[in-house]
Amino acid sequence: MWELYDALIDGIPRELSVEEMANNGGVSYVRSGEGVGIGMAFNVDTRPPMITEDLLGQPLYKVAECIKSWNLNEATVGHAAINAYYNSIQTAAENGISVSKNRYAEDRLNDPFISYQNMIRGKAVGVIGHFHYLEKLFAPVCKLFIFGREVYPGDYPESAAEYLLPGCDYVFIASSSMSEKTMPRYLELAKNAYVVIVGPSTTMAPVLSEFGVNDLSGFIVKDNVLAHKIVSASRRGKIYTSGQKVSLKTVNK
């Protein structure tokens, strides 16, 4: 079950280190050089942390290993450390991800719930996580199954994914599933579907195609200072105001 995580950690250059951090309410920020990563999960502090020493100055790959922690707040730090490398502007560009030169960009083509409306028409679609506008954008054109820990009217509990995901044609998985360690199981259940990972903590790593991911729909931080302020709650706002939505299609099914 750890193969996916090990592949991401192994790809991080060993010379990189953690230079700045912030954590607030299940959201983490890690900066290494100019690269910034965001990690997200439910705000649950159930287990003692894996690492008790100061993480600042530690090798980035070492902090990235916190993704394996069963303390979910610590796991978000590990995920943010992974993303500080893969979601940096430099690495993203090297992996063929188009990043606008503008300070901010909101590209509707990189919003999966807009860009996939035609592709999912008439299909069975599973979505892990209750995203905004699903009822407006997806529900009218497909057979929609929404799974979540926080269940809204019409949603299915997470446990229903074991039964319903294998029958879906398209599956959209919340990026927070990486920190929560449910990602590998969801990918196994969705192995016959077209799979999209969605959210600001999506790891923009091409290696995820080897685990059945077809599209990475994530986020690149461009304003490191603003992102740090938002995560640390010293400034109100949405994290998307600090960068640009991006996408990377990996394998077509």
Where do the structural domains in the chain lie, given as residue ranges? Answer: 3-94, 108-218+245-249
Q: Which two tokens stand for residue 89?
A: 């502007």
pLDDT score recorded for residue 170? 98
Q: Which two tokens stand for residue 225?
A: 């200072």
pTM confidence score? 0.93
Determine whether domain 108-218+245-249 maps to CATH 3.30.420.40. no
pLDDT score recorded for residue 167? 97
Question: In CATH, what is the architecture of 3-94?
Answer: 2-Layer Sandwich (3.30)
3-state secondary structure of 252: coil
Buried b or exposed e, range 151-186, using 16+ CB within 10 angstroms: eeeebbebebbeeebeebbbbbbbbbbbbbbbbbeb
- Say which residues have a Cβ less than 8 Å from residue 118's Cβ, sequence separation at least 6: none
Residue with tokens 């992974």: 82
* CA quadruple 7, 41, 90, 13: dihedral sign: negative
CB contact at 8 A, 198 and 174: yes
**Looking at the chain, which runs of residues are DSSP E strands?**
20-24, 27-32, 35-40, 124-128, 143-148, 156-157, 170-174, 194-198, 215-221, 243-249
CA-based nearest residue to 75, from 87, 60, 64, 62: 64
Local mean pLDDT, 10-residue blocks, the chain (253 residues): 96 97 90 96 78 90 96 94 97 90 64 91 96 90 93 90 97 96 97 96 96 95 93 78 89 56
3-94 and 108-218+245-249 in the same fold: no
